[in-house]
Amino acid sequence: MSRPTRILKSLAIGTAMAMSSLTALAQEKVAHIPIRTDGPKNLDPVQGSTTYDNMACVQVYETLLINKYSDPMSMEPLLLTEMPTTEDGGKTWRFVLKPGVMFHDDPCFEGGKGREMVADDVFYSLKRHADPAYEYENWWLLENTIVGFDDYKSHALENGIDYDREVPGFRKISDHEFEIELVEPVYRFLYILSMFQTAVVPREAVEHYGQDFSFHPVGTGPFILEDFVPKKHLYFVKNPGYHEVFYPEASEWSSADRRNRMHRAAGKKVPFIDRLEMTMYVQDQPMWLRFKEGELGYTQVPAESFEEAFDSRTKQLKPEWSRDGIRSHTNALLDFIFRGFNMEDDLVGGYTEDKRALRQAINLAMNLDEFSDTFYEGNTIQYDGPIPPGLDGHPEGGRAPVSYRGPNRELARQKLAEAGYPNGEGLPPIKFYTSNGANNAEQVELMKRQLAEVGIVVDPILVDFSTLIEFINTKKAAFFGFAWSSDYPDSENNLALFYGPNEAPGSNHYNYKNPEYDKLYEQIRTMEPSEERTAIYTKMRDMLIEDAPYVGSMARQRYYLINPWLLNCKPSERYYSWYKFLDVDNSKKN
């Protein structure tokens, strides 16, 4: 063969290989998903606390139980063969692990090959919550719950953690079967086992990567982390060794879901996509543009863009969007949007009548209806107390018998005088911390104007969301704002936000401490749903309204848009493990 012929043949082979690679890339199923802040601060479940930590962690790690995709208010087994069982009224629970669930292949394991998950991994993962190295950020989930676990934590605090030391309430029967004995039946216990903070991690990975473990997550989940650039993106690839998890059966979906063809993948093994790419958007406008250009699979609809896509009266998607194959979805969130006070702060904290009057004055000066109309297109419910609509203890019509929800500027001025600041005289500017994403800067300006009308001056400090949480966890933020979505559908979860021992860096971001309230909370932890329990919820709600450790509350109706190329998509903020059910139709991409 002559040299020119060989060159031509080589070029032909090279071109064919390049075309083959391009074809393979074109066939690769990639789901592009937005994160509407600067993203997670941590990829270690035991240190995670935010929605965005949750979003990322559950792609790699898994929990014993999980919310159902077809009905997110219900739970089902994930790493178990069946739901846990009890023979003593919920004091002792027996668990049977699903066999053959493998951790991801990773250099932390011998030969780089992932091993099977066993009962010891569950115990190890829970014990990490008692390790002083993690500053007990999520200890509130398990405190006073498991027999001997609080003593284990005390020993670790005094002597250093010993993961080989036994906890009496953890009883191993075999590698795939174990029991957990509780101090007393705790209604929320199974809910806790569906939360991402209790996900199962392998000891080898934690010890191998040390302080870098947060950036080298190793779990049993449907995806493996490929790249994490904080505040920019998270890239995941499909786990080729994922255990058998199947798309929900057709009978599980509602008639409305079936009309949206949510049942079309029924019974098929997941995941379907090859890559999951999450991009962080601190500002909404770039996210909105990327969605309209067809690059993002779905998006939450920013309030300022609502009327571009929806009829403001009917709340229906405009015809021109439907003609492009885009569909909409709505969710009523178990939402608690608030502005919180650090009750340990010298200015806004405290429990004396004058300190309480200052916080009540701030509540009375603010107009949440104006916030709703201005920034949420009226798509929120304003209510008293921390319990969102749909849960026991939520006040009928949103108004509690005693309410300091504004606007009532006359009473706000009266309360300011009771606080020792007539017309705001002598009151220093109050530092207010919030994140700099979405329309928060504009919301802060509205709050400043509302409070200024009664003589209260606010000094805003806008930071990245992850930085905001750090300020709150270290008790440096006197006055702060963000939103809390209930981890599970029980008011106890929201009331736990004010339980004294849960103080920061736990879920009690307000550092609220009221012995009477704490006693009632300890009572409801063990109670099943009943009229008696609801009556206690109501009493606790009203105690919080009177002490006013926050300004609130609001609950959002979330609107989503979904591009036609993203299949099986029914966005839920109850949990985020549903990304594994997504599919992609590349033929419908731009």
pLDDT digits (tens, 9 = 90+) for 77-86: 999 999 999 9
pLDDT band of 428, cuts 50, 70, 90: very high
pTM given for the model: 0.83
**364 in Cβ contact with 402 (< 8 Å):** no
What local confidence, expressed as pLDDT, does residue 242 receive?
A: 98
Instruction: Quote the CA–CA distance of 228 and 208 in Å, as a whole number.
Output: 19
| 346-365 pLDDT per residue, tens | 999 999 999 999 999 999 99
Across all residues in the chain, what is the average pLDDT?
92
What local confidence, expressed as pLDDT, does residue 10 receive?
A: 43
| 542-554 pLDDT per residue, tens | 999 999 999 989 9
- C-alpha torsion angle, residues 345, 347, 352, 357 (rounded to 10): -130
Instruction: Quote the CA–CA distance of 143 and 122 in Å, as a whole number.
Output: 17
Q: Using the CB atoms, write b or e for 398-430: b if 16+ within 10 Å.
A: bebeebbbbbbeebbbbbbebbebeebeebeeb
pLDDT band of 26, cuts 50, 70, 90: low
The full set of domains in the chain, from first to last, is 39-223 (3.40.190.10), 236-332+558-588 (3.40.190), 335-557 (3.10.105.10)
Mean pLDDT of 103-125: 97
| 361-397 pLDDT per residue, tens | 999 999 999 999 999 888 899 999 999 999 999 999 9
Q: Is the pLDDT of residue 21 over 90?
A: no
Q: Is the pLDDT of residue 202 over 70?
A: yes
Share of the chain above pLDDT 90, in %: 83
What local confidence, expressed as pLDDT, does residue 336 receive?
A: 92
Instruction: Quote the CA–CA distance of 298 and 321 in Å, as a whole number.
Output: 13
What local confidence, expressed as pLDDT, does residue 6 receive?
A: 38
| 211-265 pLDDT per residue, tens | 999 999 999 999 999 999 999 999 999 999 999 999 999 999 999 999 999 999 9
Instruction: Quote the CA–CA distance of 190 and 492 in Å, as a whole number.
Output: 14
What local confidence, expressed as pLDDT, does residue 526 receive?
A: 87
